[in-house]
Chain A
Amino acid sequence: MIIGTIVNGVVIDHIPAGRGMELYSKMKLDRLECEVALIKNAPSGKCGKKDILKVNEEIKINYEILGYIDPRITVNIIKDGQRVQKMHPALPETLIDVIFCRNPRCITSVEQEISHVFRLTDREHGVYRCVYCDAQADKKEK
């Protein structure tokens, strides 16, 4: 399968296989006018299979989302057809409107305009808790 190389833009690599579409949605890449490629289940030496996102435009990267999905994701910044920067997103301290509180007792369940804010409370185990009710983020979302 051949996807053309990009000139100026971003390659988000080493996305856990099957989570590329989720990342595509959370990063709102559907709103871009430029070429965007989602490659699913690409072979990977490191993890067997992976997803890759290629965006043929310089975009503002939301590292919070990438770090939350998997800190092993790599972000490659491409300029004039060359990779000029490679980064690993860290596990973010705070997530705002990336994941949503499922606790029916939480104020966010009734007041729709409030941002859903989660704070990293256990870096070792990647545990996030809602700042309003302390409910732990649903692991199934990870």
Chain B
Amino acid sequence: MRSLIDILDLSKEEIDDLIGTACDIMDHPEQYSEICKGKKLATLFYEPSTRTRLSFEAAMYELGGNCLGFSEANSSSAAKGESVSDTAIIVSNYADIIAMRHPKEGAPLVASMKATVPIINAGDGGHNHPTQTLTDLLTIYKECGTFDNLTVGLCGDLKFGRTVHSLIAALSRYTNVKFILISPDELKVPDYVKDQYLDPKNIEYSETEDLEAVIPELDILYMTRVQRERFFNEADYIRLKNRYILTPQKLVSAKKTMKILHPLPRVNEISVSVDDDPRAVYFRQTLYGKFIRMALILKLLEVQ
């Protein structure tokens, strides 16, 4: 039985297989519409989410399966003090697979140690969010046709942005990928991410606070939200939240082929006037998220 806690739980070949399956589902959805009939997905969401939870549920329904679960901790036994381990054991009796989001880092790993069904980490605090990374990878593959030889700009909250850490880990396994890390000093990528994924492989990266200076170099611009819920101090959040706002003016010097990704939700870091730009792929990205989750559910349930 496999779980997915960290994107690096999957080999590069397994990720390529998942992307292949997702592309096949997109091309032949009718062949997959009954494939999980009789299977149940439990979505255990201890903190709010729109896209991730709904895309998991949509994915399971489109595979012919069913869903159960909760969307906030207050409506679960966590409000009575039940541990993550106990919840995992109990829900294993009711569902064939579990997708868990939790504000505490490592909670899905704890659940996977006790559960008797596969656990999918649907986001654990500011730590990991592997299915968002799979979504990002499928988006890059569909929009750019390759993972190799890309210059990837990551912009905004690179400290608490879990999607950024996972994406760096995943892309670091491809050939000649260069990272440009764009953030204020207070929200820089943590050292451990650089120590674990970039430095050992001598992967080229640079750090800057100036988005406009580097935007002409980018093949991909991955924007992130400054996350209010990760700050202990409201004043720090207010000081940093408007630091990067992508506008049509800032895109003038960008490549015509550049793609703009965002894990969403956005607050104001991408102006709505960018939405109609052909380089903006962040809404299509959410659709890709459903297909890659379908592929993942099939893999972890070992459905052929």
Contact = CB atoms under 8 A, between A and B. Distances in A.
Query: Is the contact region of chain B dominated by helix, strand, or loop, or is it mixed?
Result: mixed
Contacts of B124: 107
Contacts of A111: 83-85, 110
Interface string B35-79: 000000000000000000000000000000000000000000000
B196 A121 contact: yes
B199 to A, nearest CB: 10
A134 interface: yes
A105 B125 CA distance: 7
B126 interface: yes
Nearest to B190: A134
Interface in A18-49: none
Contacts of B262: none
Interface residues of A, number: 20
Interface in B97-116: 102-107, 109-110
A67 to B, nearest CB: 21
A11 B127 CA distance: 43
Interface stretch (A2-10, A88-96, A124-132): A124-132
For chain B, give the interface size range. Answer: 10 to 19
Contacts of B84: 107, 111
B276 interface: no
Nearest to B108: A107
B105 A105 contact: yes
Interface in A107-142: 107-111, 113-114, 121-122, 127, 129-134, 136
Interface string B195-213: 1100000000000000000
A136 to B, nearest CB: 6
A106 interface: yes
Contact of A122 (B83, B109, B195): B195
A76 interface: no
Contacts of B192: 121, 129, 134, 136
Given A113-B83, A133-B127, A108 B195 contact: no
Given A114-B110, A131-B109, A133-B127, A107 B104 contact: yes
B195 A107 contact: no
A136 B196 CA distance: 12
Interface in A73-111: 103, 105-111
Contacts of B105: 103, 105-107, 132-134
Contacts of B104: 105-107, 109-110
Contacts of A114: 85, 110
B106 A130 contact: yes
B195 A106 contact: no
B302 to A, nearest CB: 26
B126 A107 contact: no
B196 A107 contact: no
A64 to B, nearest CB: 20
Nearest to B6: A134
Given A105-B126, A121-B196, A132 B109 contact: yes
A134 B105 CA distance: 9
A114 B104 CA distance: 13
Q: Which of A103, A109, A133 has the most CB of B within 10 A?
A: A133
Contacts of A107: 84, 102, 104-107, 109-110, 124
20 contacts: A105-B105, A106-B106, A107-B105, A107-B110, A108-B106, A109-B104, A110-B104, A111-B84, A111-B110, A121-B195, A127-B195, A131-B106, A132-B106, A132-B109, A132-B110, A133-B105, A133-B106, A133-B127, A134-B105, A136-B192
Given A132-B107, A132-B109, A133-B106, 5 more contacts: A107-B110, A107-B124, A111-B84, A114-B110, A121-B195
Q: Which 7 A-B pairs have the closest CB atoms?
A: A132-B106, A133-B105, A107-B106, A107-B104, A107-B107, A105-B125, A133-B106
